Amino acid sequence: MSVSATISGLPMLDFGSVAVTLKLAVASTGILMLVATPLAWWLANTNSRFKPLVESITALSIVLPPTVLGFYLLILFNPDSPIGAGWVKLTGDTLAFSFTGILLAAVLHSFPFAVQPIQAAFEKVGKRAMETAASLGAKPLDAFFTVAVPLAKRGFLTGGVLAFSHSVGEFGVILMVGGNIPGYTRVVSIDIYTSVETLDYERAHILSLGTLAFAFAAMMLLFMINRRYRHYDEI
């Protein structure tokens, strides 16, 4: 079949990679929102001299080749390493070439896409709103959830969309850490690569068009969110 082959209909294909990808994206985004929020709050409010160091480590995966991150994670997850051996002893399974392994890899690789928008939103909230809440008797934790989080909603929405979308598009780091195990670690991006390698261009077309449609929808949603909140800021 040629690359320019047309798709006359959807053949009966196994789309297990789509299920793995969605499972990975949902799980990694949930973890990222939980982990990124306290870190983003600290970065937005701290005057620590270590802030540039923490921000640099947080943003490292933006410029670091995914294969480099995947290579070092593969070493860390190896059953012969302390982390890998401890996981095997605890669960009886390996971190390398497992769904848990690619989940951790996806979280680390998408970390800055969740942290930075939330941090920017918290910085925009400023200290005055929190001080006002404190003057009205609100405790710090209560003020955080009732004042800071609602005011930073735009950052959470942006971070969530970016983290989810980035997880859907993971390739290099997932291939290094999880390999290409159907129904277990094979995500859509790896499925497309495998389909092209085996000259199954029809399958590659279908998966690629689906990914393209998702990416376009995600960007549309992101721009709509930013436009909506920019309109509110101008009122």
User: What's the whole-model pTM score?
Assistant: 0.87
Domain assignment present for residue 50? The answer is: yes
Whole-angstrom distance, CA of residue 25 vs CA of residue 169: 9
Q: What is the pLDDT of residue 60?
A: 94
- For 63-112, the pLDDT digits (tens) are 999 999 999 999 999 999 999 999 999 999 999 999 999 999 999 999 99
In-domain check, residue 10 = no
Question: Tokens standing for 51?
Answer: 């802030």
In a domain, 8, yes or no: no
Q: Is residue 118 part of a domain?
A: yes
Tell me the CATH number at 167. 1.10.3720.10
Residue 200: domain span: 16-234
Tell me which residue has tokens 């070092």.
72
In tens digits, the chain (235 residues) has pLDDT values of 444 444 444 444 567 899 999 999 999 999 999 999 999 999 999 999 999 999 999 999 999 999 999 999 999 999 999 999 999 999 999 999 999 999 999 999 999 999 999 999 999 998 888 888 888 888 988 999 999 999 999 999 999 999 999 999 999 999 999 999 999 999 999 999 999 999 999 999 999 999 999 999 999 988 888 787 665 554 4
pLDDT computed for residue 127 by the predictor: 83
Q: What domain count does the chain have?
A: 1
